[in-house]
Amino acid sequence: MNAFILFLLRSIFVSGLLAGWYWLGLRNRRLHEYNRYFLLLALPVSLLVPLLHFQWFHIPQKAATAASPATYILHMADGMIFDEPGIRHQAATGIDWGLVAMGIVITISASLLSLLLLRVTRIIKMSRKYTRTEMDGVSFILTDLPNAPFSFLHYLFWSSAISMETDNGRLIYRHELTHITQRHTYDKLACQALTCIFWMNPFFWIIQKELGMIHEFIADDKALTGMETGQPEGIADAFARMLLATHNSGRYLIPEHQFFSSPIKRRLTMLQKNTKTSHPTMRRMAVLPLLAGAIFLFSFTVSLGSRPVAIKAAKKIVLVLDAGHGGDDAGATQNGLAEKDLNLRIAQHIKDLSPEYNVEVHLTRSKDETMSLADRVALSNSLHPDYFISVHVNYSPVQEQVTDEFSVAIVVDKYSPAKESISLAKCVYDNTVFLGKPNQQQDRYTRKGLYVLRNNKAPSILLEIGDIKSKKQMQHITDPASLDELCAAILKGVVATNKG
């Protein structure tokens, strides 16, 4: 939930930046075609920019600094035995308000999308109700609807009260034909669909309204092109007569183009502008530095930390990473975070870094899906890997006090004396202590009876990384720079094991 809120705030900022420049430099200027595509692309761009991430450069720091405390714990304890597949962690009790808020957001989005779909369906049903005539790629439908004429896709719903033989009728026809030939309905549907999903972004509603206005400006210009009189007064008079032939009040989320629903004053004012827009090239290009600034602000990070230099294994190592939980099994949940998502984030990032270490990583799951422990083990054994690591985030018992010092517990199978598994556990530990002060009991580790470890043919360990109950500890997973350090350390431990 926290990640979604951050994404939403960044998206609102980018869309506000684009909408602000449109309002100051482009609105009510005779740059209609450019404005159309500017507004149409503003929505997906404002959603894409917050998702981009580029690491600019890396500044190493000394190990064991006070700014990054971390204690890696390997201890001997008999703990609980998990002999059969099942859920290992107990989720936090109480109401998760983050999930409640997300549910409300999704419900409203689904309702708005349903409303839009209902209106589209209503228009399609109307097209089948009346007689339709095909002419020049346009489905001409004569109706007695009070809000006609209007266009939708290739349908032109015409009012029987307006004669095609009059000047007004011909002008209106040319106007609606422009909407159809230039595919304005597709613009409108795409814009409205995104607005329904991200309804909480106020700038999306503004952009949607302005895009509809630009469509009208374009259609007005095309309709009045070639009139005999070239005087602004003549154009305004003809257009006014055309508009006053009938009237319909506009509203949001109407997928069709209704001729008489948009503000008349702005359309008249735009038609009377016979002067060229000043500095049109500058106005078009000014968006580039704005976008560059937004990308630099949100998408570039400077990595501060002590990520070790990658040392490639002499021979390729095959590693199976199991992101614990998934799908219906969320694992532990706290502060809007779900263990299944954190596990997958860690596993995927290790996979991203693995080529630098000559490690070939296979994931038991690469998305949020339900997967049994038996299936995970079967997949691992079928790949015949050198090592198997199950990735988890810890959830400490209620009675234990949680500190802000980052911790990682390394677990080997209680019933297996495999030296290779113990060696893997020690090497991963030895190559992660640089993140913080070393534990005094370096030669000790946890032994538990875990299904995925006991039934794996490869040397296997289970990592419990951080404690989900500590917001500060979770920053090592949610912060890209800290996650980079952690995953690189784990890979270095795998390579060191192979050398031993």
Choice among 36-40, 331-335, 431-435 with the minimum mean pLDDT:
431-435
What's the confidence (pLDDT) of residue 118?
92
Sheet holding 257-258, edge to edge: 132-135, 138-143, 155-159, 150-152, 257-258
**Which long-range contacts link 80-83 to residues 24+ away (Cβ below 8 Å)?**
80/448, 81/414, 81/448, 81/449, 82/448, 82/449, 82/450, 82/451, 83/449, 83/451
Choice among 55-69, 70-84, 359-373, 383-397 with the minimum mean pLDDT:
70-84
- Residue 288 covered by a domain: no
What's the confidence (pLDDT) of residue 349?
93
Average model confidence (pLDDT) across the chain: 77
Query: Distance between CA 434 and CA 63 in Å, rounded?
Result: 5
Instruction: Look at the alpha carbons of 485, 491, 497, 500 in this order and tell me if their dihedral is positive or negative.
Output: negative
pLDDT tens track for 288-311: 777 777 777 766 555 555 455 677
Query: Distance between CA 130 and CA 153 in Å, rounded?
Result: 16
Same domain, 395 and 459: yes
Same domain, 372 and 465: yes
pLDDT tens track for 127-167: 888 888 888 788 888 888 877 788 888 888 888 877 777 77
- Residue 494 covered by a domain: yes
Same domain, 343 and 420: yes
Query: Distance between CA 380 and CA 388 in Å, rounded?
Result: 7
- Residue 84 covered by a domain: yes
Percent of the chain's residues with pLDDT above 90:
24
Same domain, 221 and 332: no
pLDDT band at 238 (very low <50, low <70, confident <90, very high): low
Res 248 pLDDT > 50: no
What's the confidence (pLDDT) of residue 74?
38
Last residue of a domain, one of 274, 300, 328: 274
The DSSP H or E segment spanning 47 is helix 32-48
Instruction: Look at the alpha carbons of 378, 348, 476, 444 in this order and tell me if their dihedral is positive or negative.
Output: positive
- Residue 187 covered by a domain: yes
Nearest to 327 by CA among 361, 378, 364: 364
What's the confidence (pLDDT) of residue 54?
58
- Would you say the pTM of this structure is higher than 0.75? no
Number of domains composing the chain: 2
Nearest to 75 by CA among 439, 462, 433: 439
Q: What is the average per-residue pLDDT within 334-357?
A: 91
- Residue 237 covered by a domain: yes
What's the confidence (pLDDT) of residue 361?
96
Q: With beta carbons less than 8 A apart as the criterion, state whether 1 and 37 touch.
A: no
- Residue 57 covered by a domain: no
Query: Distance between CA 166 and CA 464 in Å, rounded?
Result: 79
Please report how the helices 480-499 and 419-430 are oriented relative to each other, as an axis angle in degrees rounded to 10.
140
Per the DSSP assignment, residues forming a β-bridge with 406 are 70
Same domain, 85 and 131: no
Query: Distance between CA 1 and CA 449 in Å, rounded?
Result: 34
Last residue of a domain, one of 259, 274, 289: 274
What's the confidence (pLDDT) of residue 65?
36
> CA 339 → CA 79, 133, 393, distances in Å?
21, 59, 6
Decide: helix, strand or coil at residue 97.
helix
pLDDT band at 260 (very low <50, low <70, confident <90, very high): very low
What's the confidence (pLDDT) of residue 92?
42
Res 225 pLDDT > 90: no
Same domain, 90 and 107: no
pLDDT band at 53 (very low <50, low <70, confident <90, very high): low
Same domain, 426 and 338: yes
pLDDT tens track for 354-394: 999 999 999 999 999 999 999 999 999 999 999 999 999 98
- Residue 214 covered by a domain: yes
Same domain, 315 and 354: yes
Same domain, 270 and 186: yes
Last residue of a domain, one of 223, 255, 274: 274
Q: Which domain CATH number covers 314?
A: 3.40.630.40
Same domain, 244 and 367: no
- Residue 483 covered by a domain: yes
Same domain, 451 and 484: yes
pLDDT band at 322 (very low <50, low <70, confident <90, very high): very high
What DSSP letter does each residue of 370-423 carry, written as one string?
A: ---HHHHHHHHHHH--SEEEEEEEE---TTSPPPSSEEEEEEEETT---HHHHH
Domain extent, residue 180, equals 100-274
Same domain, 254 and 313: no
**pLDDT top residue among 220 and 1:** 220
pLDDT band at 251 (very low <50, low <70, confident <90, very high): very low
Q: What is the average per-residue pLDDT within 192-205?
A: 92
What's the confidence (pLDDT) of residue 87?
37
